[in-house]
């Protein structure tokens, strides 16, 4: 009989004895008490969260109100009304012209001025390379001018123009103005407007050559003129000795090194140079003044 009960339980049928044992274990297991502390902590967290959210909302509203009041204050308060404009750095441009170009008038609120537009307006003058504008609070404005440095004269269709070392056209000239500046010719038919930059690459290379010669004292005799011959070649002539120098722009550093060696040789030998042709890849043709 016992073996039959065991067999039945193995097939999945629960015996009365097993049922009683499970029932007694369930009855002896105590129920967990309610945790009032956990409920309290949860409620406290919700209260703190709501208070913080309300505070942030009030703070945002207050900040907006303060910001609007501050905005209204700086744009309406008489302490910020412009009553003084200081111009510095100008040498050739009259202060009255700079003020006229700026479009600035006293009595206007300083914070209503567009400093970038003021700078652009001033730079319409071809002499101006850079214009820095800043507020000098509470009621002032400072304008710092950097003028373009005159460098050479350029001959275009029977007219003379003044350019800086970067090729920007500064002003139209008469024949008697700035006679000591080198004269450049052959810049092409198309002339940019005043304030524009001369664009042929060979012309800009010529300006660079003149600047290099001046900074390194390549010539003891300063250059009087430079002529653009074609897309790659140019001719220079010195002021005092009238030495003619022809050079192309291909491998220009090597040509300039060769030119310096020629002048050093002539100086040591006490000879005067009539002309130099540097338009060759591996040589230079030099002519000395006869009888010297």
- Tell me: do 156 and 278 sit in the same domain: yes
Per-residue pLDDT reduced to its tens digit, 101-131 = 999 988 898 888 999 999 999 999 999 999 9
Quick check: is 3 in a domain? no
- Tell me: do 262 and 141 sit in the same domain: no
CB-CB contact of 243 with 237 (8 Å) = yes
C-alpha–C-alpha distance, residues 287 and 223, integer Å:
18
Domain extent, residue 211, equals 152-288
The total of structural domains in the chain comes to: 2
C-alpha–C-alpha distance, residues 253 and 207, integer Å:
15
| pLDDT of 7 above 50 | no
- Tell me: do 174 and 221 sit in the same domain: yes
DSSP bridge partners of 287: 275
The CA–CA distances, whole Å, from 89 to 98, 115, 130, 138, 168 equal 11, 18, 10, 23, 19
Per-residue pLDDT reduced to its tens digit, 89-105 = 999 999 999 999 999 98
pTM, 2 dp:
0.69
Query: What is the arithmetic mean of pLDDT over 52-76?
Result: 56
The CA–CA distances, whole Å, from 206 to 227, 250, 275, 286 equal 9, 13, 18, 21
C-alpha–C-alpha distance, residues 265 and 271, integer Å:
8
Residue 100 DSSP SS3: helix
């Amino acid at each position: 009989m016992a073996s039959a009960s065991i067999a039945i339980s193995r097939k999945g049928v629960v015996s009365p004895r097993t049922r009683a044992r499970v029932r007694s274990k369930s009855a002896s297991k105590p129920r967990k008490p309610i945790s009032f502390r956990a409920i309290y902590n949860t409620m406290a967290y919700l209260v703190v969260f709501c208070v913080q959210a309300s505070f942030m909302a009030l703070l945002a509203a207050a900040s907006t109100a303060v910001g609007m009041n501050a905005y209204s204050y700086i744009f309406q308060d008489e302490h910020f009304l412009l009553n003084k404009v200081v111009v510095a750095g100008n040498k050739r441009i009259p202060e009255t012209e700079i003020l006229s170009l700026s479009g600035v008038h006293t009595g206007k609120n300083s914070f209503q001025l567009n400093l970038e537009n003021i700078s652009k307006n001033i730079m319409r003058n071809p002499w101006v390379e850079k214009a820095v504008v800043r507020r000098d609070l509470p009621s002032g404005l400072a304008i710092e001018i950097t003028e373009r440095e005159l460098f050479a004269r350029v001959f275009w269709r029977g007219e003379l123009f003044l350019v800086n070392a970067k090729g920007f056209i500064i002003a139209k000239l008469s024949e008697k103005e700035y006679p000591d500046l080198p004269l450049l010719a052959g810049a092409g038919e198309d002339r940019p407007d005043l304030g524009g930059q001369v664009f042929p690459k060979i012309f800009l290379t010529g300006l660079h050559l003149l600047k290099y010669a001046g900074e390194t004292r390549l010539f003891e005799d300063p250059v009087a003129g430079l002529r653009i011959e074609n897309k790659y070649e140019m001719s220079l002539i010195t002021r005092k000795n009238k030495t003619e120098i022809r050079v192309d722009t291909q491998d220009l550093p090597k040509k300039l090194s060769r030119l310096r060696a020629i002048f050093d040789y002539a100086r040591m030998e006490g000879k005067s140079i009539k002309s130099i042709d540097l338009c060759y890849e591996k040589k230079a043709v030099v002519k000395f003044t006869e009888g010297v």
